[in-house]
Amino acid sequence: MGSSWFLMWILLLGLLGTRVYGLGVNWGTQATHKLPPKTVVQMLKDNGVQKVKLFDSDRTTMSALAGSGIEVMVAIPNDQLAAMNDYKRAQDFVKRNVSIYNFNGGVNIKYVAVGNEPFLTSYNGTFVNLTFPALQNIQNALNEADLGDSIKATVPLNADIYNSPDDQPYPSAGRFRTDISDVMTQIVQFLNKNNAPFTVNIYPFLSLYGNDNFPINYAFFDGASQPIVDKATGIQYTNVFDANFDTLVSALKAVGFGQMPIIVGEVGWPTDGDKSATIDYAYRFYNGLLPRLASNRGTPLRPGFIEVYLFGLLDEDAKSIAPGNFERHWGIFRYDGQPKFALDFTGQGQNKLPVGAQNVQYQPSKWCMFNPNAKDLSKLADNINYACTFSDCTALGYGSSCNVLDANGNASYAFNMYFQVQNQDPMACNFQGLAMVTSQNLSQGTCNFMIQIASAASLVRSLLLSLAFVTVLTLFML
């Protein structure tokens, strides 16, 4: 019996060594119709997700996470960084958004994200002088509230904060961007002083996006045919994730903190909105990334465990598309919490569809389509533009899932998206006589004409209509 138990224990240790521990996901909520937070939390639990990174500290979200045991990173949006330069405001933030949940059965907060990629070059330095003081104030406020030992402030930063010089384009030559080198050194020193991690967002997809000359296999984990060799170390890099991560390791080493803990705050692959944003590519990416994480191989310059938050959990139809149409399609799950493709969160390659959101309420099976009997088409373009301004038409773009539609199909798609956003209000399917409501599902091929989630308002309206019908029916029977 003793030897049998010993063998079982050894087997168990072997299995445990090949699982992705502490895998996190990003839960964004920039959607016109949001799933109930409790539904999302249950979905996280059903899929064994142990950590979640938020982009704010919304009360309804936090209340839903209470008692779940899920580890949480709350966030301070960039537009609040200036306010956090006032220490009293920082204290108030910690009191209202962190301390209040610090009780038995509360929210398991581990990190406070101070800003979100505040040093992006596209921001033209707007947040450069605001981020470090905000970071200091938040961590000091956490320390003052006796939470600093268990909750750390960090700054999720985009990978564009570091690079390698043109004459040494390899990871070992990585340095922080010259325009932010001083403030990055201060941030790193402060993080180290408080035993807080460095957080970076890495997107292999963006290396491929808009660059037809980028070697596509290098964006994935199944082996590039021609590895890139770091001439200073002789290390061969077969994927851009490892090369990017090690460029950061070198940048940290250059300022004296080469062993600082690093969290990958965002990494993932979008599924629509660009020719390279496809479900097949997303499947390929995650089925390379997750086994890599489970193996605890790390990267050449940082072997071992890497803490990672996948980006993201759900599609968000109200996100800005300034970076590209793909921004609204990062979810592993669709807008309604249903899975897009098979994967294994444990990284063991036992792929199956993740558990989707349960008991989702949808609007009725009605669509808005182009009216084939419309006579005056002179204002068709203006009406399509209007519909797409106030809804999500990114699937119509080049290389996207609905790029195969004809002109009438494009109009129908745009009209339907607006109709669904407006909770199927009949007045939202007119467009100066160019549209009409139909009970026929207009979806074709890869193009899905969605039925939107029922909002709280539409559910109340449906309930009232049902009650009114029952009342009329009762009176009739009397």
Give the residue numbers annotated as catalytic, written as ranges.
117, 266
Residue 72's DSSP bridge partners are 52, 109
**Phi, psi torsion values for 120, nearest 5 degrees:** -55, 140
Task: Map residue 74 onto helix, strand or coil.
Answer: strand
Closest C-alpha to 336, from 31, 48, 25: 31
- What is the CA angle 464-467-470, rounded to 5? 150
Instruction: Round to whole Å and give the CA distance between 456 and 462.
Output: 10
| Cβ neighbour number for residue 325 with a 10 Å cutoff | 21
Which residues on adjacent β-strands are paired with residue 13?
none
Rounded Cα gap, residues 82 and 79, in angstroms: 7
Measured distance CA(458)–CA(478) in Å, rounded: 30
According to DSSP, the residues that pair with 274 across neighbouring strands are 277
The two structure tokens encoding residue 206: 């963006």
Residue type, position 278, single letter? T
Q: Which letter does DSSP use for residue 360 in this model?
A: -
Both tokens of 21, joined, read: 């521990």
Q: Which of 195, 218, 221, 340 is nearest to 288 (CA)?
A: 221
Cross-strand partners of 310? 25, 267
Using CA atoms, how far apart are residues 265 and 284, in angstroms rounded to an integer?
20
Under DSSP, the state recorded for 355 is: P
Provide the 10 A C-beta neighbour count for residue 237: 20
- Paired sense of beta strands 51-53 and 228-229, if any: unpaired
The two three-digit tokens of residue 63, written as one number: 């209340």
Cis, bond preceding 312 (omega within 30 deg of 0):
yes
Q: Which residues pair with 157 in a beta bridge?
A: 200
- Cα atoms in the Cβ-side hemisphere of radius 13 Å centred on 74: 25
Q: Which segments within 342-399 are labelled E, that is strand? A: 367-370
